Amino acid sequence: IAAINGPMTVHSEYALLCDIVIATEDAYFQDAPHPAFGIVPGDGLHIVWPEVIGEIRGRYFLLSGQKLSAAQAKEFGAVNEVVPRKALLPRAWELARHMTKQSPLTLRYTRMALSTRFRRRLQESLSYGLALEGISAAHVAWLNAQRKG
């Protein structure tokens, strides 16, 4: 369960790897570091966001630097609930207690069944994305070195 109580601008995809995402009304999602440093967002963002909110929206989110509000993220399917700040942790604990009432085996296997396709996509695409990110980071470093010397 991800309980988001403010901006998620670095590795915002981590929250989307959770089974349930709850956010406060003032929370938002954005990929700030990659565009700022001029590098490819190949460390998982390029897989997770398009998978969760759709290919077209995901590409727009990453290419445009879009700031996605909690309400928009809910509309796009990235957030399950938007709650007032004071209700965030109580709601997260309520959901956690509900889940602990289920059989651990059933819960584990249900989660496995729900995530198999997504895990495969991560396994297939993550190394390629990381390679692209590394190449772009090396290029940025080279450009910076050229400017200095």
Domain ranges of the chain: 2-148
Q: State yes or no: pLDDT of 149 exceeds 80.
A: no
For domain 2-148, give the fold: 2-enoyl-CoA Hydratase; Chain A, domain 1 (3.90.226)
DSSP for 29-74 reads: E---HHHHHT---TTTHHHHHHHHH-HHHHHHHHHHT--EEHHHHH
Which of 13, 94, 124, 133 is the catalytic position? Answer: 13
pTM over 0.85: yes
Q: Can 25 be counted among the known catalytic residues? A: no
pLDDT at 95 over 80: yes
